[in-house]
Amino acid sequence: MFALVVRFDLAPDRADSFDRLVAKTVPLILAREPGTLLYVTHSVEGAPLARVFYEVYADRAAFDAHEDQVHVKRFLAERGQYLSAPARVEFVTPGPAKGLPAGTR
């Protein structure tokens, strides 16, 4: 399993545009990426300009395949115009959990 958490801090008045980009991208991830096990986007309570993504892939190859998708490349190319700072990416190793697919921990 390969997992990461990404935090995006959005520029003022750009959150709606970022959210629309995400809304166009996530259904394509769902439909075209069998190795993407979880792709969860969150808004942050008390921080209206922050978004956090939690992503879990079957393995590093599935993550690499995700990064190589046209829809993901478009998202990565366009997201910068909506951010107030670079995205913060943290690669994580899940511990005891509920909800992760069996055999991924």
Residues facing residue 91 across a β-bridge? 4
For the chain, what is the domain count? 1
Q: Using H for helix, E for strand and C for coil, what is the string for 40-105?
A: EEEEECCEEEEEEEEEEECCHHHHHHHHCCHHHHHHHHHHHHHECCCCEEEEECCCCCCCCCCCCC
Least confident among 59-68, 73-82, 93-102: 93-102
pTM of the model: 0.92
Whether residue 98 is contained in a domain is answered as no
Mean local confidence (pLDDT), 9-28: 98
> DSSP code of 1?
-
* Residue-wise pLDDT tens digits, 42-66: 999 999 999 999 999 999 999 999 9
Whether residue 43 is contained in a domain is answered as yes
Average pLDDT of the residues of the chain: 95
Q: Which domain, by its residues, includes 48?
A: 2-92
